[in-house]
Amino acid sequence: MTAALRVLVVDDEALARARLSTLLGDCRNPAATVQAQAANAVQAMELLQHQRFDVALLDIHMPGADGLTLAQSLKPLAQPPALIFVTAHTEHAVQAFELEATDYLTKPVRLERLQSALQKAERYLLSRGTAPVAEPEDVLIIQDRNRTERIPLGEVIYFKAELKYITVRTAARHYILDGSLNELEEKYADRFLRIHRNALIAKRAARALEKHHDPEEGEGWAVRLDGVGELLFVSRRQLAAVREMLGRV
């Protein structure tokens, strides 16, 4: 699996940080996860001294030490992140590249431009021999309230499409994942079964089929799963596959 770049976003404006985080979540080649955010250079240095980041997205004009000063202070780090400046001002580009920035983006940032900058950062990390380590295949990476959650796939009971997002359900709680149910089905076909156009269930969690009335689907069948109290409706098309699976579990 391709490793996701671990990103630190540094900007004194909360809305700017939120927008960048959203755009980073849409990046796919390479993928990126926001490991942390900082509102100024002091917060950023505190984070950088205790965590490793692959990429730092730096605003330039901030209260106190600006982004250029912060970039200069990163040089003594054993493994400094690749630097991408994100600013509303164009006049600092020469100085930014003198600090070995991999790219210089002007606000408002477009997704295509950010994706290109991350590709440059990834090439830089590869040339330096510090490419990010890939996550194991059985871990889901989920952005949750500006944090990165790593959910073992073995804890997932079902995936359910809800509008434009996917609910990831474990016995303890649920998470929101931005992705495609079709991609999850293809990737984890050995461990999950499609029971409906909007749901995949963990084969290990399936326990029984029960008669069920659904407000939208009407009379039919639903599957009972270990770890959750709710029943998930099974479409007529998938009913035979569910019965066959239950005969094996």
**For the purposes of burial, counting CB atoms within 10 Å of the CB of 7, is it exposed (0-12), middle (13-18) or buried (19 or more)?**
buried
The C-alpha atoms of residue 168 and residue 157 are separated, in whole angstroms, by 8
Mean pLDDT on 107-127: 92
CA angle 99, 104, 110 (to 5 degrees): 160
Mean pLDDT on 28-33: 86
The C-alpha atoms of residue 160 and residue 201 are separated, in whole angstroms, by 9
Quick one: pLDDT at residue 1?
38
Helix extents (H) in the chain: 14-26, 41-50, 67-73, 93-98, 111-128, 181-187, 239-246
Quick one: pLDDT at residue 137?
53
In contact, 59 and 87? CB cutoff 8 Å: yes
Q: Which amino acid is at 45?
A: M
Query: What CATH number matches the domain at 140-246, 1.10.3720.10, 2.40.50.1020, 3.40.50.300, 2.60.40.420?
Result: 2.40.50.1020
92 vs 115, which has greater pLDDT? 115
Mean pLDDT on 149-165: 88
CATH architecture, domain 5-128:
3-Layer(aba) Sandwich (3.40)
CA angle 64, 66, 72 (to 5 degrees): 120
Token pair 């079964």: residue: 193
pLDDT in tens, 169-196: 998 899 999 888 998 998 888 899 999 9
Quick one: pLDDT at residue 101?
87
Quick one: pLDDT at residue 58?
93
pTM above 0.85, yes or no: no
pLDDT of 133 > 70? The answer is: no
Domain edges within the chain: 5-128, 140-246
| Cβ partners under 8 Å of residue 213, min gap 6 | 219, 220
pLDDT above 70 covers a percentage of the chain that reads 93
Pairing of strands 139-144, 147-152: antiparallel
